[in-house]
Structure 1
């Protein structure tokens, strides 16, 4: 995006006669007889009404040392920052956001003050994002913190630096960039191993003022989401034995007869680890949406989504002759109606489904649902833009 950089108003504020884009000086000059302190003489790197966004604000003092600097926007927000060791320069820790007016106020060690105002150019394009899970969600032990962007992100490293994850138990994890099944850029934060039950995690996406790069546009706000990890449970699906087993705290809760995808073709089930993305209940399933022609169009109960490409665990009473005996579905893990309803009630969004079998389609891609668990920890770390 073209950026207009206005240099004419980057002025030194020395006396009460300030430049036209500056506020008034802090005080009259000391007359040598105990009068008010002389104004602070500062310069600010951004100035005018079309200043360049995405840069930190720097305030430099001509003489003496800085004691306080405050940078406020028109909505009451502030930019935090720090003074250099020599006391002559203050730099904000975050960049100036686009389309925002700022007021800079500074005080030096002699009590002199100065102020300045500037505004940044409005963005030509804005990038937004979607966070998962939703705020204050309770999830299973495999759910990542996931960010999907509306527009492409070229400056992945800069964006990733602004994504702050804190956990109640110092969980080790890493960001990894993937291509979402929708084709959009996505970045997920996955723990090294499954979450510990009871862990609380918060993601703060401090993106206001960050440029996506390329044609992606600017971020113009911050985002926050939180999660709490629920019960320690996982689902093991053995397609060779045609059984699904729910484990809680490592102990078997119940084992159910199932039927997976028909071997030998496109109807095979995915293997590896998928994460329960959503409990969708009764939904209409149509074969053409997953590339299987007009094979079926039916309402399906107790539907639990495992991938974006259409693999579910669900009730399949029409397939009762094959439950526990053979794999004869169009790719989903089907079970009896009562068994499916029971599992639907027990399962948590974020529970891992570990699926094994001699004839699967392999593991789903990391962006097809939450497939990060199919990669080694080292490979997942390698997806970070900061690795």
Structure 2
């Protein structure tokens, strides 16, 4: 072992002390300000944080200010109980330090402030405080949909957030707190449509005559450092019979089933070439006894051969962009034989009235054998059932898959 470097250091210091005498010591204490014990700097600074048991607002920045003309701040270090530092800036003249990063809610912070006076003597002050929760206006709230009532077995449960949640871990916190129960019980899952909307559906359609409840347990739960769960109103809906209308654009007939048994077969017409009806499962969104439908609303020039301006009755809406099942007395000669509409499913007035009285929100309308595009999963109604169960589950934050926001391709007009 070689101890010589350490011995030389000690001897060197001893010789230097001997040479300088008692007046100045390089290795010991002296009257020099830099070697003095720091004094309590409480009288030299003001702090914007709370005093006593009061909690700080995490949305407000911290600020430390030097008092007096000769005092200045030399350093400020703020950390939380986990050792995470708060970024900040110290003015060039040492008169003010302020935080430049947000504080965490419901956290404990320690602030170390170093100062010096006009003689260069060091001061020190250690401050500690807790942050509270964000205000109620900044809480994460959930609004469930649809409104309470009776629906068809195709109606998804929706959860609308008042603030976006993008981080996968935060989404998992939210999702675990959203509960959906069904009697009879079914397997189901949440799917993130975008950063502010989730949908819940079973693997198959809901059971007929089920009672479904949705509630949030987010209240008081920490979602992120700056976002806490707020109070939300629960939802209860029920389902009726399982009603399905299978619209076959190839055979030009609609077959209607109640609880798996055929109850009607209706001659129809669907979208002609260039205006083909969308394939896939759609869910009834609402019903209007009378709708004025105009071709100009979907980009058809007035006066062209495809232009129309018609009063339409017994209109059952299945997309937000204007696809309906409705009465089309002007096309009865084509119903059951050819497709002549601009995208809607047309039928006789009597059949449309029957359909209007039989189907309600949440009931299923499925189009097959059309040359049209597939129904959008989201953004143009409820196309949720067109997503495979495997893909649906991948849209859950609990599957560690973060789905991008889907692009809505909806047109905002009726299609007759």
Specify if TM > 0.5. Answer: yes
Q: CA RMSD in A?
A: 3.2
Structure 2 contact 144–214 (Cα < 8 Å) conserved: no
Structure 2 match to 1:309? 321
SS at match of 1:322: coil
Structure 1 residue 161: deviation in Å? Answer: 2.0
Structure 2 match to 1:122? 135
Structure 1 match to 2:198? 187
Structure 1 residue 275: deviation in Å? Answer: 0.9
Measured against aligned partners, the alpha-carbon deviations of 1:218-240 in whole angstroms (never above 9, x if no partner) come to 76431211111111221111111
Distance 1:233 1:126, change over 3 A: same
Structure 1 residue 207: deviation in Å? Answer: 3.8
Say yes or no: does 1:283 pair with 2:295.
Answer: no
Structure 1 contact 261–269 (Cα < 8 Å) conserved: yes
Structure 2 match to 1:230? 240
Segments of 5+ residues of structure 2 without an aligned counterpart are 1-47, 60-104, 107-129, 400-416
Which residue among 181, 198, 207 is the counterpart of 1:196? 207
Structure 2 match to 1:108? none
Structure 1 residue 357: deviation in Å? Answer: 1.3
Structure 1 match to 2:376? 364
Which residue among 389, 397, 408 is the counterpart of 1:377? 389
Structure 2 match to 1:163? 178
Mapped to 2, the partners of 1:318 and 1:352 lie a distance apart of: 26
Measured against aligned partners, the alpha-carbon deviations of 1:101-133 in whole angstroms (never above 9, x if no partner) come to xxxxxxxxxxxxxxxx99644267566655322
Structure 2 match to 1:268? 276
Mapped to 2, the partners of 1:158 and 1:290 lie a distance apart of: 42
Which residue among 33, 43, 48 is the counterpart of 2:55? 48
Structure 1 residue 51: deviation in Å? Answer: 5.9
Structure 2 match to 1:90? none
Which residue among 142, 153, 156 is the counterpart of 2:154? 142
Q: Normalized per residue, which structure has more helix?
A: 2
Measured against aligned partners, the alpha-carbon deviations of 1:47-81 in whole angstroms (never above 9, x if no partner) come to 525368xxxxxxxxxxxxxxxxxxxxxxxxxxxxx
Structure 1 residue 7: deviation in Å? Answer: 8.1
Structure 2 contact 164–196 (Cα < 8 Å) conserved: yes
Structure 2 match to 1:99? none
Distance 1:246 1:385, change over 3 A: same
Which residue among 152, 170, 174 is the counterpart of 2:189? 174
Structure 1 residue 143: deviation in Å? Answer: 0.9
Structure 2 match to 1:351? 363
Structure 2 match to 1:28? none
Mapped to 1, the partners of 2:216 and 2:308 lie a distance apart of: 42
TM value normalised by structure 2: 0.60
TM value normalised by structure 1: 0.64
Structure 1 match to 2:349? 337
